Chain A
Amino acid sequence: MHKYYLTHLQELESEAIYVIREVVAQFDRPAILFSGGKDSIVVTHLAQKAFWPAKIPMPLIHIDTGHNFPETMEFRDKLVEKLGVQLIVGSVQEAINKGRAVEESGINASRNELQIVSLLDTIEHHKIDAAIGGARRDEEKARSKERFFSHRDEFGQWDPKNQRPELWNIFNGRKRMGEHFRVFPISNWTEMDIWNYILQENIDIPSLYFAHNRNAVYRDGTWLPASEFLSLREGESVENKLMRFRTLGDITITGGIESDADTLEKIVAEVSATRSTERGNRSDDKRSDTSMEDRKKQGYF
């Protein structure tokens, strides 16, 4: 190996930092969409690197469904304090109270799709013109067609058949009033890259990702955490399991896996040996073959 060479993680990091800097250079009111999950934590870490020694020059936006893991909220508040950045919270409960969103009913009800309303309201209210997200192209087939700079019309919608070509490292962020962009700096990262990077950089992540004991219910091939929002169906029972989460979303839809991986090294080893995708434990993606595409068109993350 010759001297002037970057490892794949260094190259992905450099690409992401370049993209984040382009956002700040091209837009007036950018923001980072922060879910408390590992991907948005990595994006926030990259933003910190991109502008050091200055602070991250944009706020974090969290869409609060009201169905959160308490650990995620605690982690969010500590991180915001450490970075000295502004936090904007968009509340799904508030949208429901105001009649802007209607709670789903039925056995698979969740507030996942309701986040779209709060997200778009928050973007509009704060006049955000570029929202940086942690979506990756390897996560889901609709996301594999996503651009780094992804245009949204004035209704916040994505038009997958009519996307701007994106060549070399030139990003076109031009738009009309009322339109905005979603930007995905870690588009080219895989789940494995994320974990290896968290390990390499020793990035703090919520305790939920590490093996811990928890009361959970086995449903649809995954362990759903017992919470005030989960009602048992016939034949189901709550068990105490040594488990961890591979992705974090709402407490109502995020299933965990049985695992004893309690260090980053063990998580990396476990992920590299695993034979199923991380979103396999997310009931929101199982609704149809194109459920992600359908939600993304409406304005989902």
Chain B
Amino acid sequence: MELLRFTTAGSVDDGKSTLIGRLLYDSKSIFEDQMEAVKQSSERKGLQHIDLSLLTDGLRSEREQGITIDVAYRYFATPKRKFIIADTPGHIQYTRNMVTGASTANLALVLIDARKGVVEQTCRHSFIASLLKTPHIIVCINKMDLVDYSEDAYNKVVEQYEAFAAKIDVTDIRFVPISALDGDNVVNDSVNMPWYKGESLLHTLETIHIGSDENHSDARFPVQTVIRPHADEYHDYRGYAGRIAGGIFKPGDKITVLPSGLTSAIKSIDTFSGPVEEAFAPMSVSITLEDDIDVSRGDMIIKHDSEPHVSQDIEVMLCWMGTRGPRPGAKYHLKNTTREVMAIIKEVYYKLDINTMEKLENAGDIKMNEMARVRLRTTQPLVFDEYRKNRITGSLILVDEATNETVAAGTILV
């Protein structure tokens, strides 16, 4: 069984919670006691219907305000796949939560109200999916029951979205007309929309091909830690522990350690269950080398056929997450894979309007939830790839030196 991670974003009335509730309920992932608790809470609040959003909004402040604030992770499984939903709020003031949810997702579910068509929020969610290189988008055109299940209404929204989608960089976009409230085309095919010949939402989620989402061509192994057992049996053992971030490694492969440039060959690839003949992303393994060379946390082991960038100047699209914007000339801890260096924001080229993807030049200071195209300068060289080639080696965060807060997330452009 494969694992598919997807993200949703939405606000109070677009039916996102209802859709998630429906997916969980129809796939039998909601237990009777959870349902009973939600039923009782709904009754206490004097609601006419069972409020499925109470399943997803867990924090006291969220329940009080009736909104999703943070990213909530939800799980369900069918006999075909296991799913992890990163459920995020949709309002612009929670852009950073949407970015967080999108960072690990294979797929984004974008919800459109069939009566309203493409709105600002639709664009924002799609742009975020595009910037974070979520490989697949499923556009759910919801509330079809309120437009009499009309094929024309559906086609109009599809055309509208396709016109907009020319601006985004996601190649796999699919459309499903649904009614989350009644369940049409969510799990089961709709009897109300015989004109729709495609698959239901769940069927698409179960079968969409995600096998080629990982990069299996550029070999990248960021070293997390060095394993040195102090036991007679493994006296000279020195294993480099890490999770493969790209490509395929085999014993005998010639490798280079970056940024030092030292070279060697792979002696073995070890796991607790025994040595393996091949290792690929996202496997966690330990690599031993033929030669006794200096390798430690923060180094990257690569193969000769494809070299990453090694530089102290990095072009980045930043999403600012800190409550206060960057202070002029401030230094930040920069984390990229297992490497940590100090960095300063050397230049801000422009800010990006996340609703329209317009470049805003001379738009003033960067504030929370804003995107900005910047150049960073680091104290030590970084070893990285373009984010579009590798989401692990091409991503970074900035940590405030004074507060230790994670204040920005960046995708590397070159």
Contacts and interface: CB of A to CB of B under 8 A. Distances in A.
User: Does A associate with B in a complex?
Assistant: yes
B3 to A, nearest CB: 4
Contacts of B81: 8
Contacts, number: 177
B224 A6 contact: no
Nearest to A52: B272
Interface stretch (A17-25, A65-73, A86-94): A17-25
A165 interface: yes
The majority secondary structure among interface residues of chain A is loop
A187 interface: yes
Given A2-B212, A280-B31, 11 more contacts: A4-B248, A4-B280, A5-B2, A17-B243, A54-B227, A142-B58, A145-B72, A165-B409, A170-B335, A174-B399, A289-B63
Nearest to A14: B284
Interface residues on B, range: 35 or more
The residue in A24, A53, A166, A175 that gathers the most chain B C-beta atoms within 10 A of its C-beta is A53
23 contacts: A8-B2, A9-B1, A14-B243, A15-B284, A21-B241, A22-B224, A22-B338, A25-B297, A53-B229, A53-B270, A138-B74, A140-B58, A141-B57, A142-B59, A145-B71, A161-B61, A165-B97, A172-B404, A174-B333, A188-B84, A280-B33, A289-B63, A293-B60
A289 B40 CA distance: 10
B399 A172 contact: yes
Nearest to A160: B59
Interface residues on A, range: 35 or more
Interface stretch (A43-51, A74-82, A110-118, A209-217): A43-51
Nearest to B387: A168
Contacts of B227: 51-54
A168 B336 CA distance: 10
A167 interface: yes
Contacts of B333: 174
Given A142-B58, A145-B58, A160-B70, A137 B75 contact: yes
A97 interface: no
B31 A49 contact: no
A220 to B, nearest CB: 12
A164 interface: yes
Nearest to A138: B75
Interface stretch (B301-309, B376-384, B388-396): B388-396
Interface of A: 1-2, 4-15, 17-18, 21-22, 24-25, 48-55, 137-138, 140-142, 144-145, 160-161, 163-170, 172, 174-176, 187-188, 190, 192-193, 274-277, 280, 289-290, 293
A54 B233 CA distance: 10
Contact of B392 (A142, A168, A172): A168
B229 A54 contact: yes
Contacts of A275: 31-32
B141 to A, nearest CB: 28
A145 B58 CA distance: 8
B342 to A, nearest CB: 13
B73 A187 contact: yes
Nearest to B297: A25
Given A174-B399, A290-B63, A14 B77 contact: no
A172 B211 contact: no
| Among all A-B residue pairs, the 9 with the closest Cβ atoms | A141-B58, A54-B229, A49-B272, A8-B3, A17-B284, A174-B404, A167-B103, A8-B82, A52-B272
A53 B231 contact: yes
Contact of A188 (B75, B391, B399): B75
Contacts of A53: 227, 229, 231, 233-234, 237, 239, 270
Nearest to A173: B404
Contacts of B34: 277
Contacts of B104: 167-169
